[in-house]
Amino acid sequence: MTCCEGCTSCNGFSLLVLLLFGVVLNAIPLIVNRVEEGRFFQNPISCFEWWFPGIIGAGLMVVPATAASLAARKRACFNNKTGMFLSSLLNVITVLGAMYCMAVSAQALLQGPIICNSPGNRNSSCEFAFDKLRIENQSFNLQWFSNESCVLPSSLSPPTVNNATANGRNTYGLRFRDKETKHKTIHFLVFSGLLVVGLLELLFGVSQIIIGFLGCLCGVSKRRNRIV
């Protein structure tokens, strides 16, 4: 087995692990939303979880390159110059998917969860447009996460309007802050993880593009004919 084949196989296994991590991380806020509300699209943690950065960008778009890299081992179907060249080309899709995952995750970390930005906290407040992914010249800070608590939206009044008491308002405020802390933590962990996954996939994708071209130029080890 040549160095190109060994590195390609290693990249394939690494991409497979990162692919699974991306899908699981993206699914976490969706599952939490389903458990809390009993259905999807109701009071989501973040609008950006529905962009599916881990499922599409770090997941589906990485599958072709992962399969090709794993099939480039000795005696496998991609164990030739053409296979290495295709492996290199397919990793361009991996790079694009990783960049998409990173762009969505970075924008999500900049804006924070819906509970810190929208008083309605509903899916209707989400805008699914690609211009939302533009990161303008602003410092990358996590002020929404470092603050002790988001401001309780004034439009959200306690459930008991007619006979509102101080105790009722305090209880409602505590429930809001507990939910807010949970959403902030999930949001930070999920999109920080997806940002790291996207970055690693980008590095592995670029490295495999180089390795694939080298394998195409230098060749790979020959298959051994089976003796029956």
The per-residue pLDDT for range 96-127, each reduced to its tens digit, is 999 999 999 999 998 888 887 755 555 556 77
**In terms of pLDDT, which residue wins out, 16 or 44?**
16
CA dist., res. 119 & res. 2, Å (int): 59
Residue 151 lies in a domain: no
Q: What is the domain extent for residue 111?
A: 3-133+184-218
Residue 157 lies in a domain: no
Residue 207 lies in a domain: yes
Residue 152 lies in a domain: no
Residue 31 lies in a domain: yes
CA dist., res. 72 & res. 83, Å (int): 7
Residue 150 lies in a domain: no
Residue 138 lies in a domain: no
pLDDT tens for 45-92 read 888 888 999 999 999 999 999 998 888 765 566 667 777 888 889 999
The pair of structure tokens assigned to 198 is 């996207």
Residue 71: per-residue pLDDT: 82
Residue in the block written with tokens 């762009």:
103
The pair of structure tokens assigned to 132 is 């939302």
**In terms of pLDDT, which residue wins out, 86 or 189?**
189
57: DSSP letter: I
Helices 166-218, 3-37: axis angle to 10 degrees equals 160
Q: Is 54 helix (H, G, I), strand (E, B) or coil?
A: helix
Provide the number of structural domains found in the chain. Answer: 1
pLDDT tens for 119-160 read 555 555 677 677 666 665 555 667 777 776 665 545 444 554
b (16+ CB within 10 A) / e for 55-66: bbbbbebbbbbb
CA dist., res. 132 & res. 128, Å (int): 8
The pTM for the full model equals 0.80
Residue 61 lies in a domain: yes
A 10 A CB-CB count for 107 gives 18
